Amino acid sequence: NQATLGWYDAASSDSNRRDHVAVSNTVVAYYQGTAIVLTPNHTRETFPGSMITYRHILENLGTTADTVTLTYGPSSQGWSWLLYLGDGNGNITSGPIASGTTINIGAGATQELIMRAFVPTDTPVGTTDVVDLIAQGTHNSDFATDITTVRQGKMRLAKEESNDNGATWHTYLQAKSGEEVLFRLTFTNIGTELLKNIRVIDSIPDNTVYVAGSAASGNEGSYTVYYSTDGGGSWTTSEPSPELVTHIRWTYSGTLAPGESHYVTYKVELK
């Protein structure tokens, strides 16, 4: 905390007295054994259908090792945030860590923590999501806050679904257990410049299973399909067992001209 010193000139009359204030430097007191610090906070803009990632550093400034409990979420918008351990360079080294998990951190050691979420494709522009990551040590705790605001980018992404193999398309559809639903994601360049290095990501809806071999592109060009089984933490071009797939990503190596649209598709089966 800070100490404050106040005084006024003794030679001045009461009517002309000028007060002076000086503030000390900030002093932070830690337990000698352990002292957990979590940094930094983040504020960022993104767009619907994107994957947002925040990197944090957990540090033990104390003189002994500590066991730290990590908790996070739910976020203000209910986004599905996942936490991973990192190698200090932004690379994920673990599967998703459940909220409430404990980790050990040595005296003077640091551990990178990576928060990641998929922004739903139907999120309205202007939406702000807030999520806290909390580190509770033996003697103290600290937290970091990630604030994400959704903006309108140079691309527009629309998601539709069909239960008649694409004969008709809907933005809302009722389906029965065992029925297959086809999803179509259409992305359009609404800007004035050529766009490249385009990536489209979607999550497999709850209570559904990805249909093997169904991820495809409806346009000519070079598309590569990637699959994730850990909420987007890692990706592979080898299609996993359908029940393990959590996210699909299409990467387009060509360019998209102003006003041009492409689309990608995949199927799920309702449980």
Tokens 């190596």 belong to which residue? 253
Residue type at position 251:
T
- Please compute the mean of the pLDDT values over residues 74-84 and round it to a whole number: 95
Considering the domain architecture, whether residues 115 and 204 belong to the same structural domain is answered as: no
Q: Coil, helix or strand for 221?
A: coil
- Host H or E run for residue 140: none
Residue 243 lies in a domain: yes
Mean pLDDT of the chain: 87
C-beta separation of 128 from 149 below 8 A: yes
pLDDT at residue number 227: 97
Considering the domain architecture, whether residues 93 and 161 belong to the same structural domain is answered as: no
pLDDT at residue number 3: 53
Q: Any idea what the Cα angle at residue 266 is, between residues 236 and 222, rounded to 5°?
A: 60
Considering the domain architecture, whether residues 105 and 177 belong to the same structural domain is answered as: no
pLDDT at residue number 128: 97
Tens digit of each residue's pLDDT (9 = 90 or more) over 127-184? 999 999 999 999 899 999 999 999 877 888 889 999 999 999 998 888 889 999 999 9
Instruction: Tell me which of 82, 117, 150 is where a domain ends.
Output: 150
Considering the domain architecture, whether residues 86 and 168 belong to the same structural domain is answered as: no
Q: Coil, helix or strand for 243?
A: helix
Q: Which two structure tokens, joined as six digits, stand for 198?
A: 């385009």
Instruction: Tell me which of 104, 122, 150 is where a domain ends.
Output: 150
Considering the domain architecture, whether residues 132 and 184 belong to the same structural domain is answered as: no
pLDDT at residue number 268: 97
Instruction: Tell me which of 116, 132, 150 is where a domain ends.
Output: 150
**Residue 174: how many other CB atoms lie within 10 Å:** 7
pLDDT at residue number 18: 47
Tokens 């002994």 belong to which residue? 64
Q: Which two structure tokens, joined as six digits, stand for 25?
A: 């430097």
Residue 245, domain CATH: 2.60.40
Q: Kindly tell me the number of DSSP H helices and DSSP E strands found in the chain.
A: 0, 19
- Please compute the mean of the pLDDT values over residues 71-95 and round it to a whole number: 94
Provide the residue range defining the domain that includes 74: 36-150
- Give the CA radius of gyration of the chain: 25
Please give the tally of structural domains in the chain: 2
Q: Is the pLDDT of residue 211 over 90?
A: yes
Considering the domain architecture, whether residues 170 and 238 belong to the same structural domain is answered as: yes
Considering the domain architecture, whether residues 88 and 135 belong to the same structural domain is answered as: yes
Write out 91-131 in H/E/C secondary structure: CECCCCECCCEEEEECCCCEEEEEEEEECCCCCCCCCEEEE
pTM: 0.63
Q: Which two structure tokens, joined as six digits, stand for 205?
A: 């809806």
Return the sign of the alpha-carbon dihedral for residues 99, 102, 105, 107. positive
Residue 57 lies in a domain: yes
Q: Which two structure tokens, joined as six digits, stand for 117?
A: 């979420």
Considering the domain architecture, whether residues 216 and 248 belong to the same structural domain is answered as: yes
Comparing CA positions, the residue from 75, 79, 137 lying closest to residue 103 is 137
Tens digit of each residue's pLDDT (9 = 90 or more) over 25-39? 545 555 455 689 999
Q: Which residues of 234-249 are buried (b: 16+ CB within 10 A; e: fewer)?
A: ebeeebeebeebbbbb
